[in-house]
Structure 1
């Protein structure tokens, strides 16, 4: 009988020890701060991206450093892990935000070129980071030019379009494009 009581006491102590361990482990997890933001959320914040884009456009290395310092400060304030904070200070993070800024600059400059009826060969040279966007951009330019050509053909009637028809078609296309850009987007509630 004493053996059974001794085994029960050992088991009770083991169970009590296990519960103490679990309660200490869970309370230490509660004391650990969980970051309220991630590294990618910091790097994709609109103000950071806009600031980096402006700095890249101006080739202002100090401004890029300043924006990355701000990102690192946000990471520290958000209680990111040491490895995440170190990443924000790394050359990889710098290259990442510059790469994304150059792609954004390509997109902006493409939109201007598209509207102003210009090509993008020099943009492709200036922003190789946007290489995967080139085919889609070229397709949009070709569609734009095809529409202008059809408008010019309509204006010319049965004749071949001349320079005047083409200029008029370009003006009409541009006016319609700008008009569409100013239209509010259709919402689901407009249907009925």
Structure 2
């Protein structure tokens, strides 16, 4: 009987100890969860309104507007209680360079798309937006595919290989109509 009582007391103490441990562990997890910010610095820098504003400022070469947008990003970070390291990063030239770099890449993509559909040259874009140089091979490949499609349309229209200039011009016109080419604005 004494052995059974000792075992029972040991089991009860073990269960109570386990419950206390779980309670303390849950408190610790709650404290850690409370410390996790609701938003990250990268989410702030990639917010659509910030990117749009920075892109507009870069397009207009408006340094003051870029600084204002970075100040707004900093205010969001402070309101979200981000770490001092994140706050310092948002105040740095590196963060500003990062958003300007991304804005230039977006501007390249938009300008390329317009020129792609309107059959305009794209080489001047490469000079204007060197930040997008890793995209150049892919955009060159798209141009080649587009030109091959236009060539195929011209062959179909003229019925001869190689197609004549009139067939190529008609194929280009058909391409722009089918693509519903946006106006070229830069």
Q: TM-score, normalised by structure 2?
A: 0.78
Quote the residue 2:116 is aligned against: 114
Task: Provide the residue aligned with 1:91 in structure 2.
Answer: 93
Match of 1:188 in 2: none
Residue 168 of structure 1 aligns to a residue whose secondary structure is helix
Tell me what 1:146 maps to.
Answer: 148
Corresponding residue of 1:185? none
Pairing partner for 1:100 from 93, 99, 102: 102
Structure 1 regions of 5+ residues with no counterpart? 1-18, 182-192
Q: Say how many residue pairs are matched.
A: 160
CA 42–113 in structure 1, closer or farther in 2 if over 3 Å, else same? same
User: By how many angstroms is 1:77 displaced?
Assistant: 0.3
Distance 1:132 1:95 in 2: 17
In structure 1, the residue matched to 2:139 is 137
Cα deviation, 1:70-107, whole Å, max 9, x if unaligned, reads: 00000000000111111111001001000000000000
Task: String of CA shifts for 1:137-157, please: whole Å, max 9, x gaps.
Answer: 000001111111111111111
Deviation of 1:178 after TM superposition, in Å, equals: 2.7
Higher RCO structure, 1 or 2 (CA under 8 Å, sep 6+): 2
Query: Which whole-Å CA distance do the structure 2 matches of 1:41 and 1:91 have between them?
Result: 18
Q: 1:159 to 1:41 in 2, by over 3 A?
A: closer
Offset at residue 58 of structure 1 (A): 0.6
> Which residue number corresponds to residue 13 of structure 1?
none
1:38 to 15, 40, 54: 40
Which of 166, 169, 172 is the equivalent residue of 2:168? 166
* Equivalent position of 1:69 in the other structure: 71
